[in-house]
Structures are given as C-alpha cells and as structure tokens.
C-alpha cells in the first residue's frame, strides 16, 4: 500500500504541476484543457529532472522534499495565475461532446475506451511485476539511475578507457556513458518517492507517459473537429500498436519517450501551422526540448521539424528548401566522400539494401498491425492534396522524418542495426505517433471523408 | 444478397459522433438489406475466409481430404552414427562431435513424401551447433541421401517445407540429423514430427500459429514477432490481404451496379480487421501478464531477479556483493562472454563497475573483453573473472599473470568453480 501511494505521488506531483503550468501558459487560448493534461505529464517530469540537475550542480543531495518543493511552488504559482482566468475549472471540456452521442455511437466509444483501458491496465501490471528485461536498459540506462540514486546526485560516467585512469572512485562507466541523463533521472525520481531502489517499480513513468500520450492525442484529434468516436478510434489505434505497447511493457529504455515527445512536438507544431496560436508553438518547443534531451537521436528528430516550420511560414520557401536538400543529397551520393562522420553515425554513399527486412517488419509481422498499409493507402489516395496549403507543413515534416529514417537505414553505418534487426522498429517507432496524426490530418482535409460520391461519375 | 448498403441506419450515430457527412450518401441511397457496419464486417469475414482457403491450399499435402495421421519419431528411436551421445528418456542427447561431425539416423515405417510436406524437429540446446541439417533416404533411390539445412528461430528449429524439387518424393524410408562444428553444449533431440497435412489439419495449424503466444523476452524490444517467420502466413499480412480484397470487392460491386459508395463501409472493413487483429494481441498480452503474475507476483525486487531466467547469475552477483567492501569500491567484471559480464555487472551496481569494454568494442566483437592495462589497476581494486581467458590467476604465487609476462600481486576473495573474485594487493 505504501508503495502504491509512493508511486501515485511520483506520478501525480509532476503531472499536476505540469498540467497547471501548461494551462497557465496557454490559459488565454481556446485549447481544450485536456491538452494541458496530456502534455502536462512529460512537461512536469522534465521539470523534475531540471530541478534534480540544479540540485546536483549545487551539491545538494536529492530528496523528495528538495525536488518536490520547487515543483509544487511552480504549480501553486500556476494555480494562482489560472484562478482569475477560470480555466482550471473546466479541465475536461474536450469530453463534453460525449453527451450528444447516440446510443450506438456511445457503445462504440465505450468499447474503444474499454479496450484501451484494459490494455493500459495490463501494461501497468506488467511493468510493476517484471524485472528489467531490455539489454539496453541494464547496459546504459539503469546503470546511471542506480548509481545516481545511491549517491543522491549525478556522479560522472566516463568511457571505459578513461575509467581505469580516472582519479578517485567516483567516476563510473557503462556501455554508453555519453547518453543523456534525463531518462535515468525519471527512474531516480520514482525511486526517491519509493524510498528504495526497485528495478521494476522505477519504470512506472513509462506507463504514465503512455497514458498521457493517449490523452494528448485524443484531445488534439478533437481539436481537428473529429467527433469523440473517431478521435477515440485514432487514440485506440495508436495505443494498440504492438511494438509501442511492448516498449511500455518492457520498460527501461528511452525510445518510448523519444516517440512521445517527438509526436507531441510535431502535433503541436502542426496545430500552430493551422491556428497560429503561440500556445501551440510553445508546446511544440517544450516537447522538442524534451525529445532532444532523452536520447542522442532526439536532436536529429527535432531537426526534422524545422522544414515543417519553414513551410508553415512560407510554403514555397519550405518546399524549395526540401527540394534543395534532396538535390544536395543526390549530389552528395554522386560526388561526396564515401564516408562522412556525423554525430554517432557514419554516412556512406554506398546504398545498403535492407529493404527486405524493413518490408518484413513494417508490413509482414504484426509489429504495427495494419498501420503501414493504412499509411500507404491514405497517402497514395490523397497524393494530390499533400502539398496543398493545408497539408504542406505536415507533409514536409513527415518527408523529413522519412528521409532521416531512410538515410540511417540505407546510407549509414546503422544499416548493420537493421540487418541484425536491433534498430529497425525502434527508429521507426519514434515517428509513429506523428505519422498516425498525420494520417488523421489528411483524412480531415479529404473530400472523400466528407462526402459519399458515386465511383462511376 | 447485395453487400452494398442502401440505407444507413447508423448514419445519425456517426454524424453525431463527428463522422463524415455520410448522411449525404444515406439520403441518396436506396433502402439497404444490411446496415453499413454489418456489410463491412461480412465483407471482411468473407475475404478472410478466402485468404484462409488460399493458405490451406498452398500448405496442405497431396491428400487434402483423406485421413493422414501425423507421424512422430522420438529422439530415443534414433541411432548414433557419428560423434558421441546417448538416449535419455524419450530424447537423445548429442554431446560431442567426432572430426567436427555428429549425426544420428533412424529407419522409419515407409511413408509417402507428398502426404507429409512439413517437417518439424523438436531440438533444444543452450548453445546450438553452427550447422544443422535434416537428411533422408527414399525407397526409390536408396543409394542417395538428400538433405536440407535447418535454422534456429526464437529457440526453435524452423519447420521445413519440402517438395519434390528438394528430393522429398516417393517413399521415405530413413531420416537423419547431422550437426557440423564443435558442440559447445549438448543438443537434445526430442522428436521429429511429420504433422498431418490435410486441409483440416493445415487450417487448425494456421489458427494455432495465429493464436501462438509471443513471450516478451529481451529480444522482444527489437523484433518481438520473430517467430512469425515460421508461419504459413503471418496474421497481419493475412488480415491486410483480406482487408484489401474486401475493399476491392466492395468498390467493384459498387462500380458494376452503379451504386454510390458509402465510405463508411471501407472504414468499417478496416476497423473490423484492426480490432480483430488487436484482440489477438490483447489476449496475448493478457497471457503474458498472467505468466508474469504467477512468476513474480508478491516478490521483492531481489526475489524477482532470483525468479528470472538468469537466476544463477543473480545468485553469483549476490555472493560477490557480500564479499565486497561497501560501495563505491572499483570492480572489474571480465568475461569472454559479453552478456554474462553485462548481467553480473548490472547486479553489482552501485559498485563502481567496469567491464573494460566500450560500446565500440561491443559493436566490433561480441566476445572477450581485453585484458585491463596493468598500470591502471590500483591497490584495493577488485576483479571478477568469469570464464575469462584474457589473463590468468596463479593461486600459488598469488599473482595475476598477463599473456606478455607482466604480473600483479592479488589475493583471492571468492573462489568458485565458475568465478573468481580477487583483490589487488
């Protein structure tokens, strides 16, 4: 029971604080408050890690009180800012339309909610029961969190080659000492709330983040004027994807957070492209920062948002930019050096054909249910509208994402990771929430969706 | 029965749900015999049945509707023809190779090859040999031996599908298993199964494959559905084909009959396929949770680790921890096996643990960690040696001895048959 309360506290403190802060920052905008709830958890949890980093820098040993105090103060400040706006009192406004549903639609909605909740419940049970399973988790993520929890601060991790000669005993090492500390800090925060290290329970942020993704996704779909049933189907579809759910069930590695943060950043950016509300841009920036802070690839994913922003500001310029990038890539392939070191990747001009493996993972196995078939079908059917003024920023963003994955898979040293199947689905997963929303955007703007038309005319 | 809906009883519900303005179609259409959602579901079901028929036709044997009983040859029924091993219960344990080869064979009651196109070996090994092959002999060509390589997938042998082109024809009279390379670990031959390949049995096998449990082991974080490679047709692909077929039929019927298209029907087809596919995954997840609850429920973090697959390593790490001074003592975990050292190191944190391997080392070669630089070892450092050949410890002299002849004084803290913990003096 004590553990349950501690875990609830570890989730509630950042979630409530994050929600209030997002709501306070966007209080004047007509966004549904459910968006603040959806975006609130990651925002709050990221805030917790910032406080932990600050305390570590200041030499103050971590404790729940030291970390929670500034977070709660922020939450309180946000609350007082919200009170005159009256915005905090209608947090579930997005769900109001449920009352207008007919019996059949309500039954479908209830079925989808039930399926989603049962799945999330099972994922929660799995996470609290199973010890750490993924290789990467015990090679480079939980190593840091275990050590940092023990010493109450971020003690340095160095390369194995430097470890031997490092002065003193407080220089640690693991498989990837250079990896960012945000995700380990999520685990340390949970362990601090628990009062002990438990390699199963420290992973509850993965479940909470998945729930928050569902809420944010649903709320953003509702903003697109999708009805509750369709928005719920989209949310259910996203949270039903086997590979995504496995990354919750086998919690402990950072990819799920990249996927959620990148997805929420892209969605907020696209909403900004539609509405031009500063609050959407703000949310996109916050989520982009979170995305860049959880994994090395996060920064590259954030870069794929830039063409979309440019296109939203000036469509022709954005499209020209994409065309120029494509031309530069073609020239590089033709005349560039055979190898080029970029961040952790080595780019190669030689094409490595791993398409059979990619096809197998996306279209044959059940990793993604029918998602990639749906994406191909929807994109092909609507190809003529994809670069129109309504969809161009979104299309350009997803093109940049596909280009990033394509370069990594087919023209980089990481193609070995595709061959041994260690990165194929994981890298793709980073873009999946954004892709699902992109499909929703296409359908929304589609004439097919809105009309029944005879095929023979 | 027309499958194209002509009235839309569900239209108000969907419109209220924020759905497309399909009421336009509803108003334009004539009265329908079936509601749109039922049309979608039925079309999908019919298309899926078509896909199943195709799968059965492609994977069943020559005698689709007769009585073809399955055949099983237990491991103990085989005779060793090369290498070392012995029968154990109903299995046969292969232990050692002779000249890099180990094999065993069995004479079997004659059977018609065309009736048994599928061959399943039930083998177990913690470290299987590099090359395995299934061999057979026919009554028609008794002086010739045919063979086909076997491959491991998710801890099992991928079932073989053989036809006349492979030499699987006529009457089979003898079967054999051949393993090449060093036997790092015993190979248990449990049985050779020749399942019935009638239409009914093939259909049942298809459903068994689609309903199979996918355990969430470590590899599941990257390729969870690896075992689907051995399926007649993975379920997602089958559902996608059925979905596509149903859509083509619906649009084709609408075109031929010059009826308006109700776009809700294609979406109903897609939603039905997705939900059924997902229900299978949901049930599988439920089985995983039930198994986890049985295995880990009510246990502390340490007890869970001891109930996991690598409990032996956990127990070893716990013993080492008891022998170590309090953290953050420096501990080097060295092993020729990267995974073993990684797991033991994990259980030793928050000690200051190193495996003396960088990420690049692990990418380049997954084997032995290099011997540590002698100059970087300090008095008080601890070394855990687990099946490690990078240097050796001379117990008589109390020295670590590097291959180049360098030595360093060290004392034993824990000595076990499979592990050694020493402290630098």
Smallest CA–CA distance, residue A408 to chain B, in Å, is: 16
Give the pLDDT score at B54.
Answer: 97
Q: Strands B101-112 and B145-150, how do they pair? A: unpaired
Contact (CB<8Å) A142/B346: yes
pLDDT tens-place string over residues A328-340: 989 988 888 888 8
Contact (CB<8Å) A131/B308: yes
Window B:317-336, CB contacts with A under 8 Å: 327-330
Cα dihedral B55, B58, B59, B61, rounded to 10, equals 140
Q: Provide mean pLDDT across the span B67-87.
A: 91
pLDDT tens-place string over residues B86-106: 999 999 999 888 888 899 999
Assign residue B85 a region: left if phi > 0, alpha if psi is -120 to 50, beta otherwise?
left
3-state DSSP call for residue A166?
Answer: coil
Cα dihedral B206, A237, A209, A9, rounded to 10, equals -90
Residue B234 touches partner A, C-beta closer than 8 Å:
yes
Q: At a CB cut-off of 8 Å and minimum separation 6, what does A50 contact?
A: none
With contact defined as beta carbons under 8 Å apart, do A160 and B342 qualify? Answer: no
Residues of A in contact with B228 (CB under 8 A): 364-366
Q: What does residue B126 show for φ and ψ, rounded to 5 degrees?
A: -80, -25
pLDDT > 80? residue B22 = no
Give the pLDDT score at B28.
Answer: 41
The owner of tokens 């438990």 is A198
Contact (CB<8Å) A364/B236: yes
| Radius of gyration for the alpha carbons in chain A, expressed in angstroms and rounded | 22
Closest CA to A98 of A113, A82, A85, A83: A113
User: CA-to-CA distance for A254 and B336, rounded, in angstroms?
Assistant: 28
Give the pLDDT score at A110.
Answer: 94
Assign residue B155 a region: left if phi > 0, alpha if psi is -120 to 50, beta otherwise?
left
Q: B328: cis peptide before it, omega within 30°? A: yes
Closest CA to B2 of B31, B45, B44: B31
pLDDT > 70? residue B359 = no
Closest residue in A to B26 (Cα) is A452
Burial class (CB in 10 A: 0-12, 13-18, 19+), B180: middle
Question: Which segments in chain A show pLDDT lower than 70?
Answer: 28-31, 85-96, 447-457
Give the pLDDT score at B51.
Answer: 97
Q: Strands B399-401 and B392-394, how do they pair? A: antiparallel
Contact (CB<8Å) A230/B18: yes
With contact defined as beta carbons under 8 Å apart, do B374 and B404 qualify? Answer: no
Residues of B in contact with A199 (CB under 8 A): 301, 305
Longest dimension (CA), chain A: 80
Mutation pick from B4, B7, B11, B18 vs chain A, by most beta carbons of A within 10 Å, is: B18
Closest CA to B123 of B161, B78, B56: B78
User: CA-to-CA distance for A11 and B401, rounded, in angstroms?
Assistant: 52
The overall average pLDDT reported for chain B is 87
Residues in chain A: 457
User: CA-to-CA distance for A307 and A313, rounded, in angstroms?
Assistant: 10
User: CA-to-CA distance for A291 and A296, rounded, in angstroms?
Assistant: 9
3-state DSSP call for residue B333?
Answer: strand
With contact defined as beta carbons under 8 Å apart, do A205 and A132 qualify? Answer: no
Among A139, A226, A370, select the one facing B236 at the smallest CB separation: A370
3-state DSSP call for residue B387?
Answer: coil
Give the pLDDT score at B282.
Answer: 96
User: CA-to-CA distance for B175 and A142, rounded, in angstroms?
Assistant: 49
ipTM: 0.91
pLDDT tens-place string over residues B301-335: 999 999 998 899 999 999 999 999 998 899 999 99
Mean pLDDT lowest among A188-197, A444-453, B127-136, B148-157: A444-453
Longest dimension (CA), chain B: 98
The continuous run of DSSP H or E covering B280 comes out as helix B264-296
Position with higher pLDDT, B337 vs A58: A58
- Helix, strand, coil share (%) of chain A residues, nearest 5: 75, 5, 25
Q: At a CB cut-off of 8 Å and minimum separation 6, what does B311 contact?
A: B305
Mutation pick from B28, B262, B271, B350 vs chain A, by most beta carbons of A within 10 Å, is: B350
In angstroms, the first-to-last Cα distance of chain B is: 89
Query: Percentage of residues in chain B with pLDDT exceeding 70?
Result: 90
User: CA-to-CA distance for A286 and B341, rounded, in angstroms?
Assistant: 39
User: CA-to-CA distance for A144 and A179, rounded, in angstroms?
Assistant: 10
Residues of B in contact with A367 (CB under 8 A): 224-225
Closest CA to A450 of B23, B9, B16: B23
The owner of tokens 């703000």 is A282
pLDDT > 70? residue B271 = yes
Residues of B in contact with A240 (CB under 8 A): 274, 278, 281-282
Closest CA to A263 of A306, A305, A208: A305
Give the pLDDT score at B218.
Answer: 85
Assign residue A387 a region: left if phi > 0, alpha if psi is -120 to 50, beta otherwise?
alpha
Burial class (CB in 10 A: 0-12, 13-18, 19+), A158: middle
Smallest CA–CA distance, residue A246 to chain B, in Å, is: 7
Residues in chain B: 425
Work out the number of other CB atoms within 10 angstroms of the CB of residue A309: 17
Contact (CB<8Å) B304/A131: yes
User: CA-to-CA distance for B328 and A168, rounded, in angstroms?
Assistant: 10
pLDDT band at B363 (very low <50, low <70, confident <90, very high): low
Mean pLDDT lowest among A168-172, A233-237, B74-78, B176-180: A168-172
Query: Percentage of residues in chain B with pLDDT exceeding 90?
Result: 64
Among B225, B352, B356, select the one facing A367 at the smallest CB separation: B225
User: CA-to-CA distance for A21 and A286, rounded, in angstroms?
Assistant: 12
With contact defined as beta carbons under 8 Å apart, do B37 and B270 qualify? Answer: no
Among A123, A231, A366, select the one facing B234 at the smallest CB separation: A366
Q: A116: cis peptide before it, omega within 30°? A: no
pLDDT tens-place string over residues B371-391: 888 888 889 999 999 988 888
Q: Strands B330-335 and B382-386, how do they pair? A: parallel
Contact (CB<8Å) A425/B222: yes
| Radius of gyration for the alpha carbons in chain B, expressed in angstroms and rounded | 30
pLDDT > 60? residue B13 = no
DSSP letters, A369-422, are TTHHHHHHHHHHHTGGGTTSTTTHHHHHHHHHHHHHHHHHHHSBTTHHHHHTTS
Closest CA to B180 of B125, B106, B119, B128: B128
Smallest CA–CA distance, residue B286 to chain A, in Å, is: 7
Q: Strands B352-354 and B330-335, how do they pair? A: parallel
With contact defined as beta carbons under 8 Å apart, do B194 and B69 qualify? Answer: no
Residues of B in contact with A253 (CB under 8 A): 221
Among B225, B263, B281, select the one facing A448 at the smallest CB separation: B263
Give the pLDDT score at A307.
Answer: 95
Smallest CA–CA distance, residue A3 to chain B, in Å, is: 12
Contact (CB<8Å) A146/B25: no
For A59-158, where are the alpha helices, taking DSSP H only?
Answer: 64-82, 103-129, 135-136, 142-151
pLDDT band at B34 (very low <50, low <70, confident <90, very high): confident
Contact (CB<8Å) A160/B357: yes
Mean pLDDT lowest among A145-154, B13-22, B201-210, B216-225: B13-22
User: CA-to-CA distance for B141 and B144, rounded, in angstroms?
Assistant: 6
Mutation pick from A107, A112, A131 vs chain B, by most beta carbons of B within 10 Å, is: A131
């Amino acid at each position: 029971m004590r553990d349950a309360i501690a875990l609830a506290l570890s989730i509630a403190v950042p979630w409530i604080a994050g929600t209030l802060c997002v709501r306070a920052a966007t209080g004047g905008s007509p966004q549904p408050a459910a968006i603040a709830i959806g975006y609130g958890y990651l925002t709050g949890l990221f805030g917790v890690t910032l406080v932990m980093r600050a305390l570590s820098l200041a030499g103050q040993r971590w404790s729940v009180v030291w970390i929670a105090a500034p977070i709660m103060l922020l939450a309180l400040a946000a609350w007082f800012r919200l009170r005159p706006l009256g915005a905090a009192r209608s947090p579930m406004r997005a769900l109001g339309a449920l009352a207008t549903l007919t019996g059949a639609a309500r039954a479908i909605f209830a079925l989808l909610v039930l399926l989603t909740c049962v799945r999330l419940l099972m994922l929660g049970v799995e996470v609290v029961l199973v010890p750490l399973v993924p290789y990467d988790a015990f090679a480079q993520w939980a190593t840091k969190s275990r050590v940092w929890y023990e010493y109450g601060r971020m003690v340095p991790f160095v390369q194995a080659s430097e470890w031997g000669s490092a002065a003193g005993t407080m220089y640690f090492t693991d498989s990837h000492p250079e990896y960012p500390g945000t995700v380990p800090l999520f685990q340390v925060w949970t362990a601090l709330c628990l009062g002990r290290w438990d390699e199963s329970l420290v992973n509850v942020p993965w479940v909470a983040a998945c729930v928050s993704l569902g809420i944010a996704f649903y709320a953003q779909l509702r903003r697109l004027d999708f009805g509750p049933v369709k928005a719920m189907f989209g949310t259910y579809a996203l949270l039903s994807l086997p590979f995504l759910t496995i990354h919750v069930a086998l919690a402990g590695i950072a990819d799920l957070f990249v996927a959620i943060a990148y997805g929420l950043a892209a969605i907020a950016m696209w909403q900004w492209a539609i509405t031009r509300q500063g609050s959407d841009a703000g949310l996109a920036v916050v989520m982009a920062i979170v995305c860049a802070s959880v994994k090395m690839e996060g920064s590259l994913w954030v870069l794929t948002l830039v063409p979309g922003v440019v296109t939203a500001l000036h469509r022709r310029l954005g499209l020209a930019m994409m065309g120029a990038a494509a031309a530069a890539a073609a020239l590089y392939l033709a005349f560039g050096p055979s190898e080029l070191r970029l961040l952790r990747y080595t780019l190669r001009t030689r094409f490595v054909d791993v398409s059979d493996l990619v096809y197998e993972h996306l279209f044959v196995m059940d990793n993604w249910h029918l998602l990639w078939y749906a994406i191909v079908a929807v994109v092909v059917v609507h190809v003529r509208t994809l670069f129109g003024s309504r969809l161009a920023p979104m299309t350009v963003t997803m093109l940049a994402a596909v280009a990033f994955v394509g370069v990594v898979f087919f023209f980089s040293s990481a193609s070995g990771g595709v061959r041994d199947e260690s990165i194929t689905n994981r890298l793709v997963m980073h873009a999946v929430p954004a892709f699902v929303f992109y499909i929703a955007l296409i359908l929304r703007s589609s004439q097919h969706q809105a009309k029944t038309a005879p095929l023979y005319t | 029965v027309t499958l194209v809906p002509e009235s839309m009883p569900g239209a108000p519900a969907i419109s209220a749900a924020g759905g497309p303005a399909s009421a336009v179609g509803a108003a334009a259409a004539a009265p329908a015999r079936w509601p749109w959602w039922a049309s979608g579901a039925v079309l999908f079901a019919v298309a899926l049945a078509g896909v199943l028929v195709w799968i059965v036709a492609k994977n069943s044997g020559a005698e689709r509707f007769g009585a073809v009983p399955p055949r099983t040859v237990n491991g103990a029924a085989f005779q060793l023809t090369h290498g070392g091993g012995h029968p154990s219960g109903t299995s046969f344990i292969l232990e050692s190779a002779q000249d890099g080869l180990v094999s065993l064979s069995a004479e079997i009651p004659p059977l018609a090859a065309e009736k048994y196109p599928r061959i399943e070996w039930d083998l177990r090994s913690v470290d299987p040999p590099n090359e395995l092959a299934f061999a057979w002999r026919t009554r028609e060509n008794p002086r010739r031996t045919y063979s086909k390589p076997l491959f491991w997938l998710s801890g099992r042998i991928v079932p073989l599908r053989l036809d006349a082109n492979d030499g699987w024809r006529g009457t089979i009279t003898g079967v054999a298993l051949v393993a090449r390379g060093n036997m790092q670990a015993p190979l248990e031959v449990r049985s050779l199964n020749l399942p019935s390949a009638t239409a009914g049995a093939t259909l049942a096998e298809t459903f068994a494959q689609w309903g199979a449990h996918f355990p969430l082991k470590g590899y599941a974080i990257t390729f969870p559905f690896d075992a689907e490679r051995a399926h007649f047709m993975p379920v997602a692909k089958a559902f996608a084909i059925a979905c596509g077929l149903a859509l083509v039929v619906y649009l084709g019927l609408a075109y031929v009959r010059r009826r308006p298209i109700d776009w809700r029907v294609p979406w109903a087809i897609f939603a039905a396929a997705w939900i059924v596919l997902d229900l299978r995954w949901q049930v599988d997840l439920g089985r995983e949770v039930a198994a986890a609850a049985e295995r880990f429920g009510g246990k502390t973090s340490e007890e869970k680790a001891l109930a996991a697959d690598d409990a032996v390593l956990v127990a070893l790490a716990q013993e080492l921890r008891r022998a170590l001074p309090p953290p953050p003592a420096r501990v080097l975990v060295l092993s020729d096996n990267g995974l073993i050292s990684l797991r033991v190191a994990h259980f030793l944190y928050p000690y200051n643990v190193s495996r003396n391997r960088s990420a690049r080392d692990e990418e380049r070669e997954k084997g032995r960690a290099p011997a540590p630089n002698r100059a970087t070892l300090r008095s008080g450092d601890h070394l855990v040696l687990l099946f490690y050949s990078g240097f050796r410890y001379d117990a008589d002299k109390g020295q670590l001895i590097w291959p180049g002849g360098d030595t360093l004084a060290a004392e034993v803290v824990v000595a076990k048959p499979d592990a050694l913990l020493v402290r630098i003096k």
